[in-house]
A and B are shown apart, each in its own frame.
Chain A
Amino acid sequence: MSTPTYNVIGTRPIRHDGADKVTGRALYGADLQLARLVHGAILRSPHAHARILRIDTSKAEALPGVFAVVTAADFPPAPADKIVDFGEGDTLLSSLRGNILASGKVLYSGHAVAAVAAVNAHVAAEAAALIDVEYEVLPCVLTAPAAMAPGAPILHDHLPNGNIAETVRYEMGDLAAGFAQASLIVERELDTATVHQGYIEPQNATAFWSTDGRIQIWCSTQGSFVARDATAAVLDLPVSHVKVTPMEIGGGFGGKINVYLEPVAALLSKKAGRPVKLVMSRRDVFTGTGPTPGSRVRVKIGVNPEGKITAAQAWLAYEAGAYPGAMVVPGAMTVFACYDIENILIEGYDVVVNKPSTAAYRAPGAPNSALATETVLDEIAEKLGLDPLTLRLRNAAHEGTRRADGPRYKRIGCVEVLEAMQASPHYNAPLPGPHCGRGVAIGFWFNVGLPSSATLSVNADGTVNLIEGSTDIGGSRASLAMQAAEVLGLRAEDIHPTVVDTDSVGYTGVTGGSRTTFSTGLAVHDAAQLVIAQMKARAARLWAVDHVDFANGVFSANGNSLSFAELAAQLGATGGPVSCSATVNPKGVGGSFAGLITDLHVDPETGKTTVLRVTSVQDAGKAIHPAYVEGQMQGGTAQGLGWALNEEYFMDADGDMRNGSYLDYRMPTALDLPMIETIIVEVPNPGHPFGVRGVGEANIVPPLPSVANALYRATGKRLNRVPMNPATILGL
């Protein structure tokens, strides 16, 4: 098959929202000003586990400047066992509500208990401090192994199996027979700490509950429709009563899918009769939103003398936090997803603990499990005397490989990623000196499909307006506009993309799951095809012909020709405007593999690690805007390096987070990182007309094991705990 040539795809135009974002004009949620706006504050639990005996809001209500106070008692009544589903699977309404405003018990330090709206944020905070809550403090449990142990404090009475909320099991082939064929078996157990997505913009939401019963919400969300549907579910309203306007979003990485503030702002607005704005503090973000699970993962792999894996077994326990829903299922699905293995057993446990209810974080669940698999493989390669990439290539997943959770891969780029790593200048360069090590690892993440909608409207000047519902977290306006431009034969700057509210575009799923450029891109592509079909019909009418050709932005037939812009100017006279919409819901689509080569130096006295050089390799299928593909790879790598080396929730014995600020929760700064080299591999996704694979997530999977393997080469120590900070490295 010949490689298609493109005019726009693969180029690096200036992003459409760029000027607003470098001049300070772009409006993020906290920037919103409205007439009669009042400001809210949330009162949070100081205890990790306690029964709420009494809440007295009278002093807060009496404070001058206070407009409203709400607690869980203000939710409309609903049966305790009511199930809600807004596209993310079944959830107990009581769990969804319980995390937004605690009822009966608080389950983590930072759990929201009550909220206040007042004339300004200072008065709101003063009022929140006047709310008197009487607690009966209960023993807390903070890690999955502890929560699974007999006699552990129980968080939820309704769970049938103590603190184990869900069990997942995938089995394939004959495990015992597979291990019997092995000449070498390595088994390791590794722990990871709770870490946060660390988006710089705190959660915020402004709501206005109108006298007609409709609610308007402006917020920072990865999915305006999910925010709408979740808010409606929490407040027991039809979805059509809620309109969500997504503001610009200051990072999310999975953490801005769940709703925390939206329903509370709405309840406050209903009482206050005014729009109410809630903005989290940084500590609220750390303690009151969803970090990613801490975990314990045990992996056992057997190989034959040639290095072919004969059997693989994994046991995973992930901390869900306060409510069920840890990312153990994707952790289990991805633990061996890079390899072609016949005999597999995977068991996973979703365990509730007295920490914030966890949320998605970039390839959620996968870094935790890949850490174990990829470090075990590194040890096997060393024992076999094989190059670690060669060992992986001998086992790499390919088209037709069956994953343990069921599906067989279509065309994938696992082998190509490994080959690109092996051929890279970095992998073939010498290490700079003593106490240095080089590590490699690879990882997989899905491209979730989910519905997307888009509308294209042709302007008389030959440009096209693109209306879409995917909140733009890192340049997706550009990657979508470029796909429209490619189909329409226009330049990227001829397309004007706008992200609109939930009343103004068809249902569109979250910006997450590496799906936006892929799935919304598909909707844009399909809408553009409809535009071309309609434009051809107009040209046919003009020229009185049956058939019109379209190529390179020019319509032609029988010696007649019109450019897109020339025909656009004649739409009024040929039947009126052209405006086309498309909706897609792709299933069983691609998926992306990524790899990371890490060189680092460890100071043997202090245990300080310096990352010297990294190269991130990823299969993008087809890179629409290579600069933003590189950006995703670099961003995921940086987050992964922080996770591997530094980041961690320090919880004291009472479950209080002791490092809930950016000073103490130390994310990588510009001074901590080297340049991040990138190699984009392009193995087209058969499920997309341009071959696009979503690239947002797979890149965060390799850093944990890549660093662990490099640290081994530098220090001779196989560490079993992330973060691999100086204390871990020195064994303190």
Chain B
Amino acid sequence: MSAKVQVQTTINNEPVEFLCEPRQSLLECLRDIVGLTGAKEGCGDGNCGSCTVRLGDRIVTSCLVLGVEAAGQSITTVEGLAHGNTLHPLQKAFLENAALQCGICTPGFLIAADALLQKHPQPTEEQTRFWLANNLCRCTGYDKIIRAVQAAAHEINANSGAAQ
């Protein structure tokens, strides 16, 4: 066992400090040390996308990032998507479109879809499929997930249009 390292980060807009071993993944740090278990481990090698979080300005599979690499960075997990008690439009759309069955992949899909909508506010079906291709879902066949992301895009755009 090696000496632990102190890591200072911002997680879901709150300053968070944690102590971890250098070998611990960011996913392990989030789940086992910080206590945020929303990001899931489905494979441990970056291929299922269930552990997807936003790190700085990009999304990462947090099982492939070391906790110490997150020092000084800002992290968003599924726990940070809702505003207080108000669900993010993506969360709402996933529920309204029945876009989850077992729900284990849902946190990763939500983070990836959020990143997609920030880059492409009105994505095509092809763009949506491309952006979500690193997130495996074994229950839904993706149909309702794609529809939910498109519905959320519509709602976000309608609301931002109304605000202008």
* Chain B residues closer than 8 Å to A625, beta-carbon distance: 98
Q: Does A22 contact B (CB under 8 A)?
A: yes
Bound CA–CA A635/B129 (angstroms): 16
Q: Does B66 contact A (CB under 8 A)?
A: no
B37 lies within 8 A of A202 (CB): no
Q: Does B39 contact A (CB under 8 A)?
A: yes
Which B59-113 residues have a C-beta within 8 angstroms of A? Answer: 77-79, 81-82, 87, 91, 94-98, 100-107, 110
Which A551-568 residues have a C-beta within 8 angstroms of B? Answer: none
Q: For the complex formed, measure the closest distance between the CB of A105 and the CB atoms of chain B, giving whole angstroms.
A: 29
B91 lies within 8 A of A639 (CB): no
Question: Which residue of B has the minimal Cβ distance to A64?
Answer: B1
Q: With A22-B100, A253-B138, A638-B141 in contact, is A669–B133 under 8 Å at CB? A: yes
B78 lies within 8 A of A635 (CB): no
Question: Which residue of B has the minimal Cβ distance to A640?
Answer: B141
Q: Does A673 contact B (CB under 8 A)?
A: yes
A473 lies within 8 A of B101 (CB): yes
Q: For the complex formed, measure the closest distance between the CB of A640 and the CB atoms of chain B, giving whole angstroms.
A: 10
A24 lies within 8 A of B139 (CB): no
Bound CA–CA A232/B154 (angstroms): 53
* Chain B residues closer than 8 Å to A661, beta-carbon distance: 43, 45, 47
Bound CA–CA A662/B144 (angstroms): 22
Binds B, one of A244-252, A435-443, A488-496: A244-252
Which B113-164 residues have a C-beta within 8 angstroms of A? Answer: 125, 128-130, 132-146
B138 lies within 8 A of A200 (CB): yes
Q: For the complex formed, measure the closest distance between the CB of A276 and the CB atoms of chain B, giving whole angstroms.
A: 15
* Chain A residues closer than 8 Å to B138, beta-carbon distance: 197-200, 251, 253, 635, 638-639, 667
Q: Does A12 contact B (CB under 8 A)?
A: yes
| A 597-630 binary contact with B (CB < 8 Å = 1; else 0) | 0000000000000000000000000000101101
* Chain B residues closer than 8 Å to A28, beta-carbon distance: 37, 40, 104
Count of A-B contacts judged by CB separation below 8 Å = 181
Q: Does A474 contact B (CB under 8 A)?
A: yes
Bound CA–CA A24/B145 (angstroms): 17
* Chain A residues closer than 8 Å to B102, beta-carbon distance: 199-201, 248-252, 473-474
Dominant SS at the A interface? loop
* Chain A residues closer than 8 Å to B82, beta-carbon distance: 23
* Chain A residues closer than 8 Å to B145, beta-carbon distance: 670
Size of A's binding interface in residues, CB under 8 A: 60
Q: For the complex formed, measure the closest distance between the CB of A666 and the CB atoms of chain B, giving whole angstroms.
A: 10
Q: Does B35 contact A (CB under 8 A)?
A: yes
From A250, A475, A630, A662, contact of B40 by CB (8 A): A250
A30 lies within 8 A of B40 (CB): yes
Q: With A23-B91, A250-B104, A627-B144 in contact, is A123–B1 under 8 Å at CB? A: yes
* Chain B residues closer than 8 Å to A17, beta-carbon distance: 103
Question: Which residue of B has the minimal Cβ distance to A661?
Answer: B45
B45 lies within 8 A of A663 (CB): yes
From A65, A628, A662, A668, contact of B48 by CB (8 A): A662
B40 lies within 8 A of A628 (CB): no
Q: With A200-B50, A662-B45 in contact, is A635–B106 under 8 Å at CB? A: no
Q: Does A357 contact B (CB under 8 A)?
A: no
* Chain A residues closer than 8 Å to B140, beta-carbon distance: 631, 634-635, 638
| A 2-28 binary contact with B (CB < 8 Å = 1; else 0) | 000000000010110111011111111
B45 lies within 8 A of A18 (CB): no
B130 lies within 8 A of A671 (CB): yes
Which A418-475 residues have a C-beta within 8 angstroms of B? Answer: 473-475
Q: With A21-B106, A28-B104, A670-B132 in contact, is A634–B98 under 8 Å at CB? A: no
From A18, A202, A631, contact of B144 by CB (8 A): A631
Q: For the complex formed, measure the closest distance between the CB of A574 and the CB atoms of chain B, giving whole angstroms.
A: 37
A250 lies within 8 A of B103 (CB): yes
* Chain B residues closer than 8 Å to A200, beta-carbon distance: 40, 42, 48, 50, 102, 104-105, 136-138
Q: Does A51 contact B (CB under 8 A)?
A: no
Q: With A250-B104, A627-B98 in contact, is A669–B43 under 8 Å at CB? A: no
Q: With A631-B101, A635-B138 in contact, is A671–B129 under 8 Å at CB? A: yes
| Nearest 3 pairs of A and B residues by beta carbon | A24-B38, A250-B104, A638-B141
Q: Could you name 15 residue pairs across A and B whose Cβ atoms are closer than 8 Å?
A: A19-B95, A22-B95, A24-B39, A24-B77, A26-B103, A199-B102, A200-B40, A200-B104, A202-B41, A248-B102, A251-B101, A252-B102, A635-B101, A663-B45, A671-B129
